[in-house]
Structure 1
Amino acid sequence: MPPAEASSGPLIETRALTKRFGENTVLRDVSMGVRSGEVVCVVGPSGSGKTTLLRSLALLEAPTGGEIRMDGTIIAAGASTGAVRRAARAVRSDIGMVFQHFNLWPHMSVLGNVIEAPVRVRGLPRDQAVAEAEALLAKVGLSDKRDASPGRLSGGQQQRVAIARALAMKPRLMLFDEATSALDPELKAEVLAVMRQLAEEGMTMLAVTHEMSFARRACTRVIFMDAGEIVEEGAPKSFFDAPTTERAARFLARLED
């Protein structure tokens, strides 16, 4: 079931965002926004700039041009200033990101992975961090893995720990970068179930995904990217059933082959 209609006004937005790596322009004047409560899926062929867009929103890549705003405040820009850098530091913990390959700390237990940032970054008392982490592990169905090493978990379990770890910082925005692409179909279902639950609970989410059934059923809006640009965006039904651009239509036709 899709989440409730989102409130007006963007929580995070890009304005003419450009990113180049040497001579390679990966993002070209990308302008988009995500409102609180929205679940936006970003789809498109490999190499279209989807991951770079997410990494830019997570403040892991600095823009070459344009800007990123959160609640109207510039948090990243091609021409960065001290004020922009201070604004970025102030909102960094409001943005959680789940990566394709889990990125758990192998020398820590599952619980240790989840409580590390709340204790060290938010300064949360350990007892409170543990209690909140245990609630999150229950939420993602991993209470019995509290003391396990990440290396002893399946890929689906590791990704659910990664989601719990991101949620432990109580972010206002969750970014998912191909969170299921490294998993087999059964394990994908475990992770997608957690993502659908978060969507139904009203978590603001931006997900780069190849899971078209998730995009169709769980998202409020779909953004289609190609060659570093946003080519088309709209409600899932209109995008999947009646795309308005030839590039989007070709992309969807290849999925059906």
Structure 2
Amino acid sequence: MNTSHASCAASVLAAEAVVKRFGAHTVLNGVDLALGTGQSTCIIGPSGSGKTTLLRCMALLEAPSDGRVVMEGATVSQARPSSDVRLAARKVRPEIGMVFQQFNLWPHMTVLGNIIEAPMRVRGVSRDEAVVTAERLLQKVGMEAKRDAYPARLSGGQQQRVAIARALAMQPKILLFDEPTSALDPELRREVLQVMRTLALEGMTMLVVTHEMGFARRVASHVVFMDEGMIVEHGTPAAFFERPTTERAKRFLNQFDE
């Protein structure tokens, strides 16, 4: 069992013995990962190690083949969910924000429209209140000047910052990021990483799948290293990057020193 750093009982969101199979292929093999309030956890590892699949299971976008996902003590996802689990999932889904690799903004809506849509439809927030919140968040991510622009008129970095504001507008308890900078060039990556760094400093609970080793080293409160569908090693950034304990983690880190 790949026990993570926070106990499941004290966590905001946790995977417990999660297995995920696609046909005969096992992508996740009994993963345990618990996320404590205010922690920024980075999942790193080679391509194909199961990072994104684990994130999608914890975001309730994929159901585990075995094991379960728990949010604040309630089971919210499992292989064959009962009616109680399905009800719990519906209740907590708005509490889990997701930022995707490819932005996923609605092209027919302005920046403002993208941000206010879900709070109005899902949370029943009035338009006036949603607009006030959206304008505050756009200022937070440095995009207030693009309030009335359409996504096609924005750079990739600008679109990703709008996507972060859109996720925050739902006032989630946790934000999940799936390689949010992988589609961006270096300058645009810095824009997005700075926003994420600010959120981490403010105590936002975050789970980030990333290849940005510098970000994981400087910003994460905890680093999880995955390989072949399992958590091979986990610890603080200082411990993991300076004193990895497994040969697999050492080999992975050595490629960044070459």
TM-score normalized by structure 1? 0.96
CA distance in structure 2 between the aligned counterparts of 1:213 and 1:88, rounded to whole angstroms:
34
1:78-122 Cα deviation digits (max 9, x unpaired): 231111100000100000000000000000000000001001111
Query: Residues 95-134 of structure 1: matches in 2 within 5 Å?
Result: 95-134=96-135
Q: What stretches of structure 2 of length at least 5 have no aligned partner?
A: 1-5
Give the structure 2 partner of residue 209 of structure 1: 210
What is the total number of aligned residue pairs between the two structures?
A: 252
SS at match of 2:32: strand
TM-score normalized by structure 2? 0.96
Counterpart amino acid of residue 117 in structure 2 = E
Would you say 1:178 and 2:142 are equivalent positions? Answer: no
Would you say 1:166 and 2:146 are equivalent positions? Answer: no
Counterpart amino acid of residue 104 in structure 1 = L
Counterpart amino acid of residue 116 in structure 2 = I
CA distance in structure 1 between the aligned counterparts of 2:257 and 2:74, rounded to whole angstroms:
42
Q: What stretches of structure 1 of length at least 5 have no aligned partner?
A: 1-5
Give the structure 2 partner of residue 25 of structure 1: 26
CA distance in structure 2 between the aligned counterparts of 1:151 and 1:127, rounded to whole angstroms:
26
Give the structure 2 partner of residue 199 of structure 1: 200
Would you say 1:143 and 2:144 are equivalent positions? Answer: yes
Give the structure 2 partner of residue 93 of structure 1: 94
SS at match of 1:182: coil
User: What is the root-mean-square deviation in Å for CA atoms of aligned residues?
Assistant: 1.2
1:208-255 Cα deviation digits (max 9, x unpaired): 011111101101100000010000000000100110001100000112
SS at match of 1:80: coil
Identity %: 62
Give the structure 1 partner of residue 14 of structure 2: 13
Counterpart amino acid of residue 48 in structure 1 = S
Give the structure 2 partner of residue 61 of structure 1: 62
